[in-house]
A and B are shown apart, each in its own frame.
Chain A
């Protein structure tokens, strides 16, 4: 078993390498040199402009007090210092419960909910894209339409539902509403429509794979870029979650609550606030690099030849 696996892997690798070589070759015919130059220049300029706010946060968090007070704010720092970061630990006393508790809440909620969100959404998307069960068209139409309804107006009805289900002031208030996302199902469904050939599913069925296994082992690997991207969207939203009016206990609150408490105290407030912002940015950036790194490295393969 082991031997055949690695043999198959080796064969696949060889194919991919061949494909990569060919990829460059066809580009020789369809790309002009001047075009390439113009593209690169344009993208770098636009990219630098886009990264400005993130750069500004980092720069500001490194400014000493006197530079923080300069107006208008400068986009560079003369004598960088970690002062703002070093005062953060002393500000932790202002928190109602230990920092580790907020951190646990944030990590638990973000990781568990992202996993459930992607799994539940993809399973639903698979059914909507690749089966013929009665009612699927209606459900998909509702999913799309729900995206267009203003979310703010839904807050009061949602609050009534949370309290009817006894979700107020529990972890459920974070988790359950974030699992079903119309956007996630819509995204996954569109990808499965395009990238999971029916013939592949038929073949899996003939080989005796059950419906769930076909979804998990055949459909999902073919839409890897899509669910990696969905993971990022979900994690990013959950990491900054700060529900209003549904969580009251301090020990159920998340890091953004703690972050805003810390940011409001201390002498060099602006510097500390920026330091907190920079630290809070790190996990989404890591998730971005991990997920998108593998999205942009996947060789497209339709999975069937």
Chain B
């Protein structure tokens, strides 16, 4: 009897595991089916399309790597858009991530009521919707614009500066506006992440010799939030490399001397007004490769924190 019992138990366990897996697949299925239909399929077809000539109306014509060659050889705007995109990503990516984390961490120091109020204020631009007009008012190019008029009255400039039309100011201004807007998804997910850190860890830390908040941040908070920080990193890469709404709203497209054009605004232009879907897809693929490389690199960095 006892000798038969063991294998029987194993069989039952295996069966249980198998039926468990079926339940798990069923739980995953609604997401995966819809995700496949509305994201995976479109991405795959876009990648395929990048090797074709397609004007959104006639039949796509295979063109090999022409679209990719065109980017680097023929297109005058692409190199500028690429360098603008990289500059914006390098400046706003890390800084935006830092601001979103530090502010969330600072807000978390307060009691519940003040915490809710402060995070509401920081998140307000995302709730208010279209917020670029405020910057247009501030940076307006005539003598009445708020920045121009205050600089004029202080005697720092003698004539109004065309902030948004001058190529040398465009990128810095876009960086400022973009950073100001970085208090979105990453900020709120950081707030939630901080709420989920077990307070017993902080108590234990205080007993074990954590002397100040910076110690606590480095040895307790950051290590307990690694996976939420990784989420922030990916979202930040996505937004930093995809900047296009702010430059188009402030400087227009195409901007003077392409000084504020980015890869995503180029993609939108190529697709919307030139109907060159194959070329737009090819630029998207290049952009994706850049983001993915960055993500793989930073993933390793996040894992090193707190050591």
User: Which of A's residues lie within 8 Å of B, judged by CB?
Assistant: 19, 22-23, 26, 29-32, 35-36, 39, 42-43, 46-54, 56-57, 71-73, 120-121, 123-124, 126-128, 131, 133, 139, 142-150, 152-158, 161, 165, 176-177, 179-180, 182-183, 185-187, 190-191, 193-195, 210-212, 215, 223, 225-226, 228-229, 232-233, 236, 240, 277, 280-281, 284-285, 288-289, 292-293, 295-302
Contact = CB atoms under 8 A, between A and B. Distances in A.
Contacts of B287: 150
Contact of A152 (B197, B200, B264): B264
Contacts of A302: 198, 200
Interface of B: 20-21, 23-25, 27-28, 30-32, 34-35, 37-43, 45-46, 49, 56, 103, 106-107, 109, 112, 115-116, 118-131, 133-134, 137, 140, 144-146, 149, 180, 183, 185, 188-189, 191-193, 195-200, 202-203, 205-207, 210-213, 215-216, 224-228, 230-231, 234-235, 237-238, 241-242, 264, 267-268, 271, 277, 280-281, 284, 287-288, 291-292, 295
A161 B41 contact: yes
B203 A22 contact: yes
Of A30, A131, A280, chain B has the most CB atoms within 10 Å of the CB of A30
B123 A26 contact: no
Contacts of B106: 39, 42-43
Given A155-B271, A293-B116, 9 more contacts: A30-B206, A30-B212, A31-B109, A50-B124, A120-B34, A145-B288, A180-B39, A182-B35, A302-B198
Main secondary structure of the interface of A (DSSP, over half): helix
19 contacts: A35-B212, A39-B106, A43-B118, A48-B121, A53-B131, A53-B133, A72-B149, A120-B31, A133-B21, A148-B288, A153-B267, A153-B284, A157-B49, A180-B38, A191-B228, A210-B23, A212-B27, A289-B120, A302-B198
Given A35-B213, A281-B128, A288-B123, A144 B27 contact: no
A228 B192 contact: yes
B124 A297 contact: no
B192 A185 contact: no
Nearest to B134: A53
B196 A194 contact: yes
Contacts of A298: 195
B284 A180 contact: no
B34 A179 contact: yes
Contacts of A191: 192-193, 196, 227-228
B28 A139 contact: yes
Given A53-B128, A72-B137, A289 B237 contact: no
Contacts of B30: 120, 123-124, 179
A49 to B, nearest CB: 8
B185 A149 contact: no
A265 to B, nearest CB: 19
A139 B40 CA distance: 11
A195 B37 CA distance: 31
Contacts of A29: 206, 210-211
Q: Which of B30, B129, B131, B137 has the most CB of A within 10 A?
A: B129
B109 A26 contact: no
Nearest to A177: B38
A19 B130 CA distance: 42
- Of B25, B28, B134, B291, most buried by chain A (CB within 10 Å of CB) is B28
A157 B120 contact: no
A186 B231 CA distance: 7
A47 B28 contact: no
Given A153-B271, A186-B234, A288 B224 contact: no
Nearest to B215: A30
A255 B151 CA distance: 42
Contacts of B126: 236
A72 B145 contact: yes
Contact of A154 (B39, B123, B228): B39
Contact of A133 (B24, B149, B193): B24
Contact of B45 (A157, A295, A296): A157
Contacts of B109: 31, 36, 39
A296 B119 CA distance: 9
Contacts of A281: 127-129
Contact of A50 (B20, B122, B146, B197): B122
Contacts of B103: 43, 46
B12 to A, nearest CB: 14
B278 to A, nearest CB: 10
Given A72-B145, A152-B267, A191-B196, A157 B41 contact: yes
Contact of A225 (B196, B213, B271): B196
Nearest to A296: B115
